[in-house]
Amino acid sequence: MDECELLHANGPAGRWGNLGCWPLADPHRVPYALAAEALARRVGEAAGLRRGDHVLSIACGRGEELRLWVETFGVAEATGVEPHPASVREARERAGHVRGPGTVEVIDGTARAAWPAGARFDRVVCVDAAYHVSPRTDLLRVALSALRPGGSLAYTDLILDEDLAHVHGASRWPRSAGAVARRHGLDLDEIVTADTAVRRLLDLGAQDVSVERLDDAVLGGFVRFVSRQSRAIGWRRFSPGWWRVAGTAAWLPTLRRRGLGYALFSARAPRGQAAASEGRRDG
């Protein structure tokens, strides 16, 4: 069984692949598929997704979130960009089973390399994938430039707790954490405090930036789930598909003590500047 199948084992079927957003009260009753959908739903709500929107979903995975945008939020067009070919193939196959009037398109590539010039969206979302992009400003610049005037962006990211950042200083991460991070496609130098992340957005022209901390709901909840799921899947926990999941969960408590956190960011593209440029084109 692959990683995705093991995450969903003994619960509702699905092809989600994020850390999930877990209720702090009685989290043990929540299956993985519902927690993973809950995290995507939080991002969609932060972006203000609504009926008729045209949405760009960066790193859309196997397409579960595209289905959510169309079937639950009622968007008119959900365009997903995904860098992993196997996930692209699966997302395109799943797109044919989406119910609702909205359409789904899946583009093979990264947002930076594959994005068609001049396209504009009402909303841009990125669920639990921004921390795999380095430098982060490249991702945010592409996301903001894809928005229509006043359009909204929402994404989740790993952050560094302000107080613990001062305590540990440059040695905040264990020496062996660098190798583990690289195996998971992470650049520890890109993990910054929430204040720094907000300034980064503002420097790129974003407006109305807000931050919601989800440290325990996401990171703590995922660790508790993996502990429970490892017991539930029995001998299958020794399969290679589970090693990456279990390894991530094993490292998270140590990294959280050193200041690792998790946040949901939302922002708006500037109205005046973009609107003025549209006016020049119209005139």
**Higher per-residue confidence, 115 vs 37:** 37
Q: What is the pLDDT of residue 114?
A: 64
From the list 186, 181, 169, 261, the residue with the least C-alpha distance to 218 is 261
Amino acid at 15: R
Residues 139 and 265 sit within 8 Å (Cβ to Cβ): no
pLDDT tens string 208-244: 999 999 999 999 999 999 999 999 999 999 998 899 8
CA distance 133 to 149: 25
pTM of the model: 0.91
Mean pLDDT is lowest, of 40-54, 145-159, 258-272, for 258-272
pLDDT class for 281, splitting at 50, 70, 90? very low
Amino acid at 236: R
Return the C-alpha torsion angle 129, 54, 142, 21, nearest 10.
Answer: -20
**Per-residue pLDDT for 17 more than 90?**
yes
Backbone dihedral angles phi then psi of residue 87, each to the nearest 5 degrees? -70, -35
Q: State which H helix or E strand residue 57 sits in.
A: strand 54-58
Q: Domains in the chain, please, with CATH?
A: 3-21+28-158+191-218+262-268 (3.40.50.150)
**Per-residue pLDDT for 116 more than 70?**
no
CA distance 277 to 149: 10
